[in-house]
Amino acid sequence: MSASISGFSKLSKSKKIDWIVDTYFSNTEDAKRILKQYWNSNDKLQQLHDEFVENTITNYYLPLGVAPNFLINGKLYTIPMAIEESSVVAAASKSAKFWMDRGGFKAHVISTTKIGQVHFMYQGNPETLKNYFKHIKSQLIEAAKPITKNMEKRGGGIVDVELRDKTQDITGYYQLHAQFETQDAMGANFINSCLEQFAKTFKDEALNFDAFTAEESDIQIVMSILSNYVPDCLVRAEVSCKVEDLTDDKTISAEEFASKFIQAVNIAEVEPFRAVTHNKGIMNGIDAVVLATGNDFRAVEAGVHAYASRNGRYSSLSHAKIEHGIFTFWMEIPLALGTIGGLTGLHPLVKLSLELLHNPTAKELMQIVAVAGLAQNFAALRSLTTTGIQQGHMKMHLMNILNQFEATEAEKTTLVEYFKTQVVTHSAVVEAIHQLRIKNEK
């Protein structure tokens, strides 16, 4: 039976586990065993993991796979991917090999500006507020100098601050809309610190602005926070080749494949129900690399999907065309990433992943991540328009089903061989296991 508890955060990890298993689990010893078997045997490393978040009771592992043979701007990469979904790493690897023989992926960063906002309420004359902003703008930037000086040494800092009137949406609602350059840092703490300083200066100095009435000088700060929507932090990734070189599948001509592929992309551009699944496939590749490199995949997801809706309807992130006999497949997506700060300097596997990628700058990582997403999308569309998605996906899923039924190594060997020529479905695998076990019992 569930129960409430006071002071849970102050308990030791051991006491937290005791309360959890005693309160929620019938088999307390089994629950404790499962939680503790995922602890790291290295006490120092386990303490590091314990301190990443609050109320830690164990570690939750995801597989870290790699996809080799990615040729990006003429440089070969093996890309780390942290993900639990079967077929994603295999699909990315297959795409990488396919395009490596056709010139590889091209990628470039279009812009790297990040956004933060101070949201506030003001009930006075809009023109007086505009004059106040003109008066105070340079002082806002100057007051933030202690925060920005180190970032400025690295070539980053505050790009601009503007006043935005949002009173058509909410009565009395305005923003300080600020742009930032954070170089190789993700920059969340930097941006939020700057915004909070903006808010303090903006509110405090209003009391000294002669043009304000007493009521107008009472500016109400609602909140100061960065935005995860970064439409001006853009990266483009693309592949291209002659149409006749587009397929190595003997069952379909290159021209037919190109036509079906482009039609599939066009459908995702106009049909939101398809676009969501289409873009989810892109994010399979993107999230896996973002997670492996210690970046914030929730922020990336939110920003990317907002960008997919920027024209008023949710649409495909990727696009395809044929011009003068050349097939081109590309996408432009917003990616706010970092290679210093956060987990990048703490988590041993994150540091290893970044070293595996030749210790990229934030811009280089943006390109790598975008390419992983495009590769994943190409693999999915290639399957959908030829053999169908389930043939490859279910064969990769076969091992998960076998593990679910605790198949022995001998049973796995037999059944993997059997399903090389059979359609993999959950029911077919269950029946095959059942029949094999009956046969072995005789």
The residues annotated with a catalytic role in the active site are: 85, 280, 296, 393
Task: Give the separation between CA 237 and CA 367, rounded to whole angstroms.
Answer: 7
Count other Cβ atoms within 10 Å, centred on residue 422.
12
Exposure on the CB side of residue 38, measured as CA atoms within 13 A: 13
Q: Do the bridges between strand 157-165 and strand 173-181 make them parallel or antiparallel, or are there none, so unpaired?
A: antiparallel
Residue type at position 194: C
CB 21 within 8 A of CB 28: yes
CA 209 from chain center: how many Å?
Answer: 44
CA 135 from chain center: how many Å?
Answer: 40
Beta strands in 113-219 (DSSP E): 114-121, 157-165, 173-181
Q: Is the dihedral of CA 246, 252, 255, 258 positive or negative?
A: negative
Question: Both ends of the chain: CA-CA distance in Å?
Answer: 46
Task: Give the separation between CA 257 and CA 262, rounded to whole angstroms.
Answer: 9
Looking at 144-239, list the stretches that DSSP marks H as alpha helix, in order from N- to C-terminal side: 145-153, 188-206
CB 118 within 8 A of CB 227: no
